Amino acid sequence: MRYYQGSARPRPRQLLAASAAVATAVLLAATGCGSSGSSASGADSKTIKVGLDSVLSGPNTSNGELTNGTVAYLKYINAMGGVNGYTFTWQTADTMSTTAGAYAATTKLIAANVNAIIGIGTVAIVAVRPKAASYKIPIMLAGDGSNFVPPIKNFFDFAPNFYSVYAGAYRLARQVDGNAPVGLVYENDAIGIPATKAIPAYAAAADLPEPSASVAVDQTTTDCTPYAGQLQSSGAKAVVLAASTDVAACVVKAANAIGYSPKWVGDWGLNSASYEEELGSLFPGQYVIDYQTPVTGSSAAATLFNQQMEKYDPKDLKSSYAEQGWDAGSIFVDAVRKATANSQAYSNDAVVNALDTEFNGQPLGLLAGGVVYDDSQHYGVLSAGVFQTVAGGGEKQVSPFTKLPEPYGAP
Residues of the chain with CATH 3.40.50.2300: 14-160+298-382, 162-294+384-403
Res 13 pLDDT > 70: no
| Maximum Cα–Cα distance across the chain | 65
Q: Are 241 and 288 in contact (CB under 8 A)?
A: no
Give the pLDDT band of residue 168 (cuts 50, 70, 90): very high
Q: Are 166 and 198 in contact (CB under 8 A)?
A: yes
DSSP 3-state of 360: strand
Alpha-carbon distance of 144 to 122, in angstroms, equals 6
Task: Give me the helix-helix angle, 320-339 and 348-357, nearest 10°.
Answer: 110
Question: What pLDDT was estimated at residue 136?
Answer: 94
Domain 162-294+384-403 grouped into CATH 3.90.1180.10? no
pTM reported for the whole predicted model: 0.80
What's the CATH class of domain 14-160+298-382?
alpha beta
Question: What pLDDT was estimated at residue 331?
Answer: 97
Question: What pLDDT was estimated at residue 20?
Answer: 39
Question: What pLDDT was estimated at residue 42?
Answer: 76
